[in-house]
Amino acid sequence: MLGNCKGLANYLNLSGDYTNLAIAIGYFHDIGRFEQIRIANTFSDKESKINHSEMSVKVLFENNYIRKFIKDSCYDQIIKLAILNHNKSSYDIGFDNLSEKEALFTKIIRDADKLDIFYTITDPNRSMESIFWYSDWDTKEINKDIIKFFETNHYIDYSQINNNADVITTYYAYIFDLYFPITLQLIKEHKYLDILTQRICNKFTSPIVHEQTKQLLEICHKYFTKK
């Protein structure tokens, strides 16, 4: 994760101070996960009813914990907004309300986080149980309305996610919510979506889910060719 932040900062030719800031945001962005697991014994925001980005900001700033790491408060607003927005859909962020620097570091952490997620979900040493929100691998199909919405809008309405099959669409939708060409390029080069598709077909039992997942992959490949 920290390497992703540093790599994007270098790609953008940021100064040393701003590169360090990008790395710091990467370091802090999920710090609320520790409280989430302590309180709810899960890393799922949906199951725990805890928004981990909001919890991260609370942990860092409510008791001034941030000062243990960064003495100067001049970057506090950038750090807060980048963390708060890192797990939101771009439709929900409102970039017009952010300053140029606030928007920049929000975009860096969001792209870096998605690269980290793709690395994690395609790691053969990570179990699928640790990646997906639910434990049912026999779900018969992905909600067709979600797939249609995905194909038409390149966006996922998380309120419609009700089972492990529906969760599949969220990972493929990440590619439509990236900001920097290098991020999409890395996803293509590492063939993350192809590897994920194979892992899904190996784990889920329903042939319908297999075909729907390959349909999602095909939509993504068409998107890749346009970029």
Span 80-130, pLDDT tens digits: 999 999 988 777 787 888 999 999 999 999 999 999 999 999 999 999 988
Q: Are residues 142 and 207 both part of a single domain?
A: yes
Residue 56: CB partners within 8 Å, gap ≥ 6? 28, 29, 30, 31, 32, 33, 83
On the 0-12 / 13-18 / 19+ scale of CB atoms within 10 A, 115 is buried
Q: Are residues 143 and 196 both part of a single domain?
A: yes
Q: Are residues 1 and 99 both part of a single domain?
A: yes
Q: Are residues 130 and 204 both part of a single domain?
A: yes
Domain end among 104, 121, 138:
121
pLDDT, mean of residues 37-41: 84
Q: Are residues 175 and 219 both part of a single domain?
A: yes
Domain end among 69, 101, 121:
121
Q: Are residues 89 and 19 both part of a single domain?
A: yes
Q: Are residues 108 and 134 both part of a single domain?
A: no
Q: Are residues 180 and 211 both part of a single domain?
A: yes
Give the model's pLDDT for residue 186: 96
Q: How far apart are CA 118 and CA 193, in angstroms?
A: 8
Q: Are residues 93 and 17 both part of a single domain?
A: yes
Whether the full predicted model's pTM is greater than 0.75, yes or no, is yes
Domain end among 71, 89, 121:
121
Q: How many structural domains compose the chain?
A: 2
- The residue type of 71 is K
Segments forming the whole domain that contains residue 209: 125-227
Nearest to 168 by CA among 125, 128, 124, 226: 128
Q: Are residues 139 and 42 both part of a single domain?
A: no
Q: Are residues 106 and 145 both part of a single domain?
A: no
Q: How far is CA 111 from CA 34, 35, 37, 162, in A?
A: 22, 24, 24, 26
User: pLDDT tens for residues 130-152?
Assistant: 888 777 899 999 999 999 999 99
